[in-house]
Amino acid sequence: MTPTLTTQPATTPGSRCRFADDVREFLTQKPRQLPSHYLYDELGSALFEAICRLPWYPLTRAELRLLEAHAGEILDAGVTTVIELGAGSGAKLAALIAGAGTGRGPLDLHIVDVSRSALAQASRALEGFERVRLVTHETTYEAGLEEFGHARSVTERRLALFLGSNIGNFDPPGRDAFLGTVRAALNPRDALLLGVDLLKPERELLLAYDDPLGVTAAFNLNLLSRINRELRGDFEIDGFAHRALWNEERSRIEMHLCSRRRQRIGIREADLEFVMAEGEMIWTESSYKYDPPQIVSMLEGAGFGVRAQWIDSVDRFALTLAEAV
Ligand code: AVI
């Protein structure tokens, strides 16, 4: 049984108020938008897990194959501490530990996620590994890194995991700032493993983000239903349609919610009322796609040197192992 220690309360003080402030700020911008991290309430996290099993969304399976194939090189005997930012179901970390076999030493695992249900699921996936101590951080990546950055011993060698192409959900300035924050939580010789989805034909990308079963549409629309539930909004869910668009110039898939008709919307707790025209969109997520050399240069720019890059050529996904320099 893996001992688990939890930091941070479920709802940090003022987090609902923060949600209301963000909803007001972003829905009144032009174009209207909502920060993508709010997609992940309990239902949103479950829908995202379902997306990862869809035949049209190959990222998770491709990454798992790479993790299993290279676990021994990634989790070599010197690594004492692993921090995973955005642990999801915990399946990838479990695959890495299982794949490293008996070659590894005792491990301190830190998993960081805003979703309590994701942390609970990840904790279950990591139960049963010998010589593993688990600490869960129910908070944002930045706050988790901050907590993690403080507690360190001289003999530690750290490995940070940022998988699932989560880096693709940052715009380029945010991405560089975030990689800088990760670098600041590490010492020279510590490492970062970054999982990134690669550029591929547009039709494959559109299918991945607008699947025929409508799971991604439900994931996107759930954000409106979350606002209704938590902030006393009155969005009519069937008044919106999910749209996935490929922005060639910016090399990103965008998710939007398109108003099917002219409608008035009220969100009590955000003190907001507005009218949406037919066809007007709310932009909810960007998912940037990269090629392998771009990944090397973003890491070098943040103070890392690339040690290895493994590519799944079938589903076009890259795992890059980089050392803090
Ligand atoms: C979590 N993130 C990397 C996913 C992505 O591919 O951008 C979220 C997602 N959005 C729609 N499908 C999956």
Q: pLDDT at residue 5 above 60?
A: no
At 224 the pLDDT is: 98
Cβ distance 137 to 168 under 8 Å?
Answer: no
Contacts of 17 (CB under 8 A, 6+ apart): none
Which residue among 141, 209, 257, 315 has the greatest number of ligand 1 atoms within 8 angstroms of its CB, and so is best to mutate?
209
Which residue has 């880096």 as its token pair?
167
3-class secondary structure for 62-80?
HHHHHHHHHHHHHCCCCCC
Which residue among 52, 242, 245, 285 has the greatest number of ligand 1 atoms within 8 angstroms of its CB, and so is best to mutate?
285
At 174 the pLDDT is: 97
The pLDDT tens digits of the residues spanning 205-259 come to 999 999 999 999 999 999 999 999 999 999 999 999 999 999 999 999 999 999 9
Distance of alpha carbon 9 from alpha carbon 297, whole angstroms: 37
**What is the pTM for the complete model shown?**
0.93
At 102 the pLDDT is: 77
Token digits of residue 44:
């949103």
How do 158-162 and 132-138 pair as beta strands?
unpaired
If DSSP codes are grouped into helix, strand and coil, which group holds residue 1? Answer: coil
Ligand 1 within 6 A of CB of 284: no
**What are the phi and psi torsion angles at 53 (to 5°)?**
-95, -5
**Mean pLDDT, to the nearest integer, of 167-172?**
97
At 316 the pLDDT is: 98
At 12 the pLDDT is: 52
At 30 the pLDDT is: 96
Atom of ligand 1 nearest to the CA of 253: 7
- Provide the mean pLDDT of the chain: 92
Q: pLDDT at residue 128 above 90?
A: no
In angstroms, what is the span from residue 220 Cα to ligand 1's centroid?
A: 10
Ligand 1 within 6 A of CB of 165: yes
At 104 the pLDDT is: 81
Ligand 1 within 6 A of CB of 253: no
Alpha carbon of 202 to those of 162, 163, 210, 265, 289: distances in Å?
25, 22, 12, 34, 11
**How far, rounded to the nearest angstrom, does the alpha carbon of residue 241 sit from its chain's CA centroid?**
24
